[in-house]
Amino acid sequence: MTAIRILIFSFLIPDEFSLTLGSLVLSGYRIVLIALAPYILWLMLKRGHDVDWNHCDVMACIVFIWPTLAFGLNTGLTAAIESGGVLALEMGVPYLLVRLNVNNYDERKKLATSFLTMVTILFLVGLPEAITGQHFTHEIAAQLTGQSYTGIADQRYGIWRAIGPMDHAILFGTLCASFVVIAITLAQRQRKFWPAVFFAGGGAVISASSAPILAILVQLGMLTWALLLRRHANKWWLLLLLFLVFYVFVDILSNRDPVRVMFSYLLINPATGYARYYMWINGIEVLTQSTWGMVFGYGYDISIFDVIDDFYSRNLMQNTVDSYWLVLMLRYGATMAALFAVFLLFVLRRSLKQTRRLSKRKDRRLMQAWFISAFAMTLIASTVHFWGQMACVYVMVLAACVGRTPPRRKRSGSGTTTQHKIGRRVSPSPVD
């Protein structure tokens, strides 16, 4: 777990400490990822035979490799090595690091504790920023490295948006909010984790963003549903069915699209929701302009947005596309989104199966918390673009959901049967 902790706390290193090699920017966590790559290879050779590699891992490898291929076809070998390689590094190393090291309740708890410690640090660093409007972390880092920090403080609802060492307030808030349900689950067994619940929720609040608050609401709703129907094996399928019924019901009764209705009532600022809604509409329009774009995407070519008729939307999408899934589709094609969707379905399905197979109640609840966190992050990714540290955290949460079955008990010798099997087959002798 030491390597995992090192990686997690490297996410707190501001970008002002980055090194530049040509066009390649090596931030603190990227340097750690590069250093961990040989360790991952060694660990796979040492423990790989004990890991129950499954279809989740196969799809993960395909998802990690596809961007390099798409970049190579769109922009050439150099971009494929740099941009595609960096993306493969940021997704592959964190995923494999968790898969090879996180197996049982204690290891999942240690992983959760490390993330909650990071969230606590983020909140304590971000709180003064929310009060004063100064980005102390980046400003101090810029003074130490001699770089210039040009970030501008942004205020919403009387709160200065905290960013801490992150690149943007929405990443700060989403990262904190993603671990609320895990903190609550641990706090139900140990009271010492209740402050972490406050810090995770507080981090979402001081980011002054709608998406992190929505992420918390989704987690609390799913946790409540899980507790109410804890003995129902198909509770998540039932929840999905109820959502579909609700969607159809709203679509029939309202003269607006159900998605826009939800934006009106679920977000702090519905205007930002509408902007993202039309961003998706315009993004799909751009994506469907050519078969090549549908399959392989457009790389970093922003001229493709000129096909949009709306001048405001065109300029908005050239500057920012606030959706992780939409960015993946535009850069690497709808193929990338389809591959990632299959990967996600495999991961969430396996997580539910693992939860049912666990014998202890505390194991099931913690695995369920990781499942809820992963689902909430997946949902919020439709309105938030994950980049940098946040993208690494996302794949680590997904990897924690996959789990790893302990190695099978070996036979004690040739032609013999283990004591465990004997105990099940032969009744014990009577006590004298």
Q: Which residue has the higher pLDDT, 90 or 277?
A: 90
- For residue 376, is pLDDT > 70? yes
Is 335:301 a contact under the CB 8 Å cutoff? no
The pLDDT of 84-112, averaged and rounded, is 89
- For residue 414, is pLDDT > 60? no
Q: Quote the CA–CA distance of 202 and 207 in Å, as a whole number.
A: 9
Q: Which residue has the higher pLDDT, 252 or 426?
A: 252
Q: Name the residue type at position 360.
A: K
Per-residue confidence band for 147, with pLDDT thresholds at 50, 70 and 90 = confident
Going by C-alpha positions, the residue among 357, 383, 420, 332 that lies closest to residue 66 is 332
Q: What is the CA radius of gyration of the chain?
A: 23
Q: Give pLDDT, residue 254.
A: 75
Q: Which residue has the higher pLDDT, 140 or 52?
A: 140
Q: Give pLDDT, residue 430.
A: 37
Is 252:244 a contact under the CB 8 Å cutoff? no
3-state helix, strand, coil in the chain (%, to 5): 70, 0, 25
Q: Give pLDDT, residue 83.
A: 79
Q: Give pLDDT, residue 432.
A: 33
* Alpha-helix runs per DSSP H in 307-360: 311-319, 324-332, 334-357
Q: Give pLDDT, residue 411.
A: 45
CA distances from 402 to 96, 148, 371 (A): 11, 42, 9
Region of poorest pLDDT, from 105-119, 212-226, 238-252 = 238-252
Q: Give pLDDT, residue 267.
A: 64
- For residue 146, is pLDDT > 50? yes
| The two structure tokens encoding residue 288 | 């469907």
Q: What average pLDDT is seen over the chain? A: 84
Going by C-alpha positions, the residue among 379, 297, 398 that lies closest to residue 79 is 297
Q: Give pLDDT, residue 152.
A: 76
The pLDDT of 250-254, averaged and rounded, is 77
Indicate the domain borders of the chain.
Answer: 106-405
What is the share, in percent, of the chain residues with pLDDT greater than 90?
37
Is 189:109 a contact under the CB 8 Å cutoff? no
Q: Give pLDDT, residue 187.
A: 94
The pLDDT of 192-196, averaged and rounded, is 93
- For residue 359, is pLDDT > 80? no
The pLDDT of 174-188, averaged and rounded, is 94
The pLDDT of 334-343, averaged and rounded, is 94
Is 179:216 a contact under the CB 8 Å cutoff? no
* pTM for the whole structure: 0.88
112-125 pLDDT, tens digit each: 999 999 999 999 99
The gap between the terminal CA atoms of the chain, to the nearest Å, is: 48
